[in-house]
C-alpha cells in the first residue's frame, strides 16, 4: 500500500504507525498540519475491517481537524489517532497507556483527546504517560467530556439553519432524524426534545433505542434507512461516510446538520446535495464545540464564558456561510473549506 500516492494523503506532515506488543496496541497517528499550532484531534478506537480502512480514517479525520481548527479560529493544527481493535480484543488501561507513550514520543507535536470509543477514563490512562492530552475529567483546568459542548454547537447550528433556510424561529414541531445515540447524539436528542422537536432515531445498539423510545417518544428507524426519513432535518451523529452517491438521492430532509466527522464520502457530493435543494452544513464547522472545549484546557482558560463566546461566534460564522452560499449559489461546504484554507495559507 503506497501512502504518498493514497487518495486521502493530502501532504500530511507526519504519519506514525505505533505498535506495542505487550498491550496489543496497533495505532496510527496522523499529523496533517502543525502550521497553526500542535496537531490536535481525538483518538478513535474501532474494530476496523482492514488496516487500509484505519489509515483512510486517520488521514481523512486529521485533515478534517486542520480545517475545523482553522475555521474555528483556534491556534491548533490538525491531527488524529486511531487505535485498531482486532476481533475479540477489548479496550484495556494498558492499551490506552501504550497509546499515551506513542503520543509522548511525538514530543507535543500531537495533542490527543476523546473520540468514538474513548472516554475521560481512557484519557486519564493516557495522561499517566504523556501531558499532551486534553479532555481530562480531573484537574484545575480539566475540560472533561467534550460531547455536551459539541451537542450544544450542533443544536444551535440547527436553530440558525432552521431560521435562515426553513424560515422557522424555533425547532418546536420540526421532525429531526438522528443517526447515532452516543455521547453527542443522545445529548442532542435531549436538547431537541426539550425544544419541542419530534424525533426518529437509529443506532446499532438496541439499548440506546429502547431508552430513546421511553425518554423522547422517538420513532425508530433501521440503520440502513435513517437517511431516507421524510423529515425537516437529518442529523448524522454516528460514523463518517453516510452521504454517498447512493444515499444522497434518497435523502428527504431539507437540512443536514450533524456531529459526525466526514459525513461526505466524497467532496463533490456537497454539490449534489445543493442541486437537490438540500442544505448541508459543513460537519467541521457544526461540530467544532468539542474542540473549542478542549482548546480552553490547552490554552489554560477556566472561564465558561470563553466557550460561550466561541459557540456564539460559531453561529455568526454559519450565518455568514449560509448568506455567502445563497448569494453565490454554491454549497456552504465549499465556502467553509475556503475560509479554513485562507487561514491555513496565512499561517507560517
Q: Are 18 and 29 in contact (CB under 8 A)?
A: yes
Q: Are 14 and 109 in contact (CB under 8 A)?
A: yes
- Give the nearer residue to ligand NAD in terms of CB position, either 185 or 332: 185
Report the nearest approach of ligand NAD to the CB of residue 206 (Å): 10
List CB contacts of 82: < 8 A, sequence separation 6 or more. 27, 28, 29, 43, 44, 45, 46, 48, 54, 57, 58, 61
Q: Are 245 and 266 in contact (CB under 8 A)?
A: yes
- Give the nearer residue to ligand NAD in terms of CB position, either 5 or 222: 222
Task: Tell me how crowded residue 13 is: count the other CB atoms within 10 A of its CB.
Answer: 17
- Give the nearer residue to ligand NAD in terms of CB position, either 78 or 180: 180
Roughly what angle, to the nearest 10 degrees, separates helices 51-71 and 332-346?
80
C-alpha cell at 156: 444551535
List of residues contacting ligand NAD (CB under 6 A): 115-117, 146-147, 150, 179-185, 202-205, 208, 223, 237-240, 259-261, 287, 290
Q: Are 279 and 332 in contact (CB under 8 A)?
A: yes
**CA contacts within 13 A on the Cβ side of 195:** 20
Exposed e or buried b per residue across 90-100, where buried means at least 16 C-beta atoms within 10 angstroms of its C-beta: ebeeebbbbbb
Report the nearest approach of ligand NAD to the CB of residue 90 (Å): 15
Of 56, 68, 80, 310, the active-site residue reads: 80
List CB contacts of 29: < 8 A, sequence separation 6 or more. 14, 15, 16, 18, 58, 79, 80, 81, 82, 102, 103, 106, 110
CA 283 to each of CA 64, 181, 193: distance values in angstroms, whole numbers, following the listed order = 9, 17, 22
Helix (H) or strand (E) holding 247: none
Catalytic status, residue 80: yes
Give the β-pairing of 25-33 and 77-84. Answer: antiparallel
Look at residue 300 and give its three-state secondary structure. coil
Report the nearest approach of ligand NAD to the CB of residue 167 (Å): 28
Residue 177 pairs with which residues in a beta bridge? 200, 234
Q: Any idea which residues carry the catalytic annotation?
A: 80
Amino acid at each position: 500500500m503506497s501512502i504518498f500516492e493514497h487518495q486521502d494523503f493530502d501532504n500530511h506532515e507526519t504519519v506514525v504507525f505505533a505498535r506495542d506488543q505487550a498491550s496489543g496496541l496497533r495505532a496510527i497517528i496522523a499529523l496533517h498540519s502543525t502550521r497553526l499550532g500542535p496537531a490536535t484531534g481525538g483518538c478513535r478506537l474501532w474494530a476496523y475491517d482492514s488496516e487500509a480502512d484505519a489509515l483512510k480514517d486517520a488521514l481523512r479525520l486529521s485533515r478534517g481537524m486542520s480545517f475545523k481548527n482553522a475555521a474555528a479560529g483556534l491556534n491548533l493544527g490538525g491531527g488524529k489517532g486511531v487505535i485498531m481493535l482486532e476481533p475479540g480484543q477489548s479496550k484495556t488501561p494498558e492499551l490506552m497507556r501504550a497509546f499515551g507513550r506513542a503520543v509522548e514520543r511525538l514530543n507535543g507535536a500531537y495533542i490527543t483527546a476523546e473520540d468514538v470509543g474513548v472516554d475521560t477514563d481512557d484519557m486519564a490512562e493516557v495522561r499517566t504517560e504523556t501531558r499532551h492530552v486534553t479532555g481530562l475529567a480531573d484537574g484545575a483546568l480539566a475540560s472533561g467530556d467534550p460531547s455536551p459542548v459539541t451537542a450544544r454547537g450542533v443544536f444551535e447550528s440547527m436553530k440558525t439553519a432552521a431560521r435562515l433556510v426553513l424560515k422557522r424561529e424555533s425547532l418546536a414541531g420540526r421532525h429531526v432524524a438522528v443517526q447515532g445515540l452516543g455521547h453527542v447524539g443522545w445529548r442532542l436528542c435531549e436538547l431537541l426534545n426539550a425544544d419541542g422537536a419530534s424525533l426518529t432515531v437509529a443506532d446499532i445498539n438496541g439499548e440506546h433505542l429502547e431508552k430513546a423510545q421511553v425518554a423522547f417518544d422517538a420513532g425508530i428507524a433501521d440503520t440502513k434507512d435513517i437517511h431516507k426519513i421524510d423529515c425537516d432535518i437529518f442529523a448524522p451523529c454516528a460514523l463518517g461516510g453516510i452521504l454517498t452517491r447512493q444515499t444522497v438521492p434518497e435523502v428527504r430532509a431539507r437540512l443536514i446538520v450533524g456531529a459526525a466527522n466526514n459525513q461526505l464520502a466524497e467532496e463533490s457530493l456537497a454539490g449534489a446535495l445543493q442541486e437537490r435543494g438540500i442544505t448541508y452544513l459543513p460537519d467541521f464547522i457544526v461540530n467544532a464545540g468539542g474542540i473549542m472545549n478542549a482548546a480552553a484546557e490547552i490554552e489554560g482558560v477556566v472561564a465558561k464564558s470563553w466557550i460561550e463566546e466561541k459557540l456564539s461566534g460559531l453561529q455568526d460564522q454559519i450565518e455568514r456561510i449560509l448568506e455567502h452560499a445563497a448569494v453565490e449559489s454554491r454549497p456552504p461546504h465549499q465556502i467553509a473549506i475556503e475560509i479554513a484554507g485562507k487561514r491555513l495559507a496565512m499561517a507560517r
